[in-house]
Chains A and B, each alone.
Chain A
Amino acid sequence: MPLPKLLGRTNPAEPGHADEPKPAPIEAAAEAGITVVDWIDERTALSPGIRWLMFRKVPKGINWAYTLGSATLFAFLNQAVTGVFLAMYYRPDVSGGAYESIRNINDNVFLGQFVHGMHKWGASVMIILIFLHMGRVFFFGAYKYPRELTWIIGVVLLILTMAMGFTGYLLPFDQRSYWATIVGVNINNTGPFIGPYMGDFLRAGPEFGATTLSRFYAIHMLLIPGIMAALIGFHLYLVTKLGISAPPWVKAHEPEAVTEYVEV
């Protein structure tokens, strides 16, 4: 029986490669990875962008302190990944279900205590890394022109991380969570004029109520992470675009024209 026409079809040669011989199947298999990458890159043209991001010139004299930003990024990714998976077991139920679901994660779920611990301790690690990163940028003078906007976005990211800490603290819904949130919301309320209304917004009412927990949960897992991811992207774009500043103890190389000796 003859093969259907469709199976016997040969694709037309790519433009510019018409006269090249077809590789043997074994060679084609060996180069499958390159072929796939080429196929994607031909359609997306992503490789110049990736080269621009990953393979860039850095100044002389940089050291381990320059990795604190990347460390913070990975702390954020840890929070994002463990948070997504904790959400599979967590229930933001104010009448006891939230506490029960956390207890279930810690006691029953396979690796539950580990993933919960990664998220809980990772939060503290992230705050510590942010401050170390901030200290490096401050003491090395790396916030100066033209990197002011990178610094400002970094400060916004710090504030958002603090807001993550505040909203996340309520979620286990034990006594400590509950009273810490009462105190935290009341600190917000002491702002003059708009403070009382901010409290009503945070609690979804005049008292800690039925939807306060789900409100904190939505802010914690949807609203702030989305804003943070976008701002981290912009932060990294600026870092790549503007380059990394040299440490302050490395003297700038003076231009040739200045150091040239002139015979008189």
Chain B
Amino acid sequence: MPGAFEGETVTRRRFMTGVAHSAGGIAAMAFTLPALGFALGPIFDREPFQWQIIGKPEDFTELDYVTKAITIVAGIGEAGESIAYVRRRDPEIDTEPLFKHDNYVLNNFVALSSRCMHLGCPVRYVEAAERFICPCHGGVYNFRGEVAGGPPVRPLDRFYTLEHDGYVYLGPRYSVNSELERFSPRDPGEPLDGIGQFLYPARFSTSVLPSTANLPAPPAVSGT
């Protein structure tokens, strides 16, 4: 090989070039990879979710929704708040099964998320029509939160609810398909029927159903 000493398989110049480039590459990776991980970390980070008190059982009826301000993300004020529409479960129309979690029977209260399942605008409940209506692109949902018209791709998301110590607690959000079967929470615009549940997989970041071991205590003064 020209430029190489007897028995060398790589010239010194070539070796030196390789070492310099490798050192530069390692140095660049040393700050690029941590920075990238830093930016991408939230995708893999599971957010904790705390059960919260939304009222007493007698606040809710089967016939009408009560609007409740709830906290989605704690500590950031209004930007972390949202609305849940809550009513008592009516066995006549709510055919989806109840289920047990840590000795509590869940979802005796139906709590619908106000996020439209088209693109996430806030829907409002119109009592006279018994419909949820979205102001952005005209999505309409019926009394059970199923799509009645417009662009939404699935029924309104729901929150887990349980009754404890005379209070109604609201848990994390979950998504439902058109049969009202439960799925881990998806974002709006992602259908869950048919192939949809595979096109839009569950995320690492969404909460699992949290333990009921540390439910927040009811307020000291009853009813506040």
Contact = CB atoms under 8 A, between A and B. Distances in A.
B201 interface: yes
B101 interface: no
A31 interface: no
A210 interface: yes
B72 to A, nearest CB: 5
Contact of A206 (B77, B79, B122, B205): B205
A206 B46 CA distance: 8
Interface in B3-54: 39-40, 42-43, 45, 47
A55 interface: no
By size class, the interface of chain A is 20 to 34
A196 B47 contact: no
Given A190-B190, A196-B200, A205 B42 contact: yes
B47 A186 contact: no
Interface of B: 39-40, 42-43, 45, 47, 72-73, 75-80, 119-122, 136, 185-190, 199-201, 203-207
Given A94-B77, A210-B76, 12 more contacts: A95-B79, A96-B78, A178-B79, A179-B136, A186-B120, A187-B189, A190-B189, A195-B190, A196-B186, A203-B42, A205-B42, A207-B80
16 contacts: A96-B77, A178-B79, A179-B120, A179-B136, A183-B121, A185-B120, A189-B188, A192-B200, A196-B186, A196-B200, A201-B39, A203-B42, A205-B47, A206-B203, A210-B73, A211-B42
Interface of A: 94-96, 173, 178-179, 182-183, 185-187, 189-190, 192-193, 195-197, 199-201, 203-211
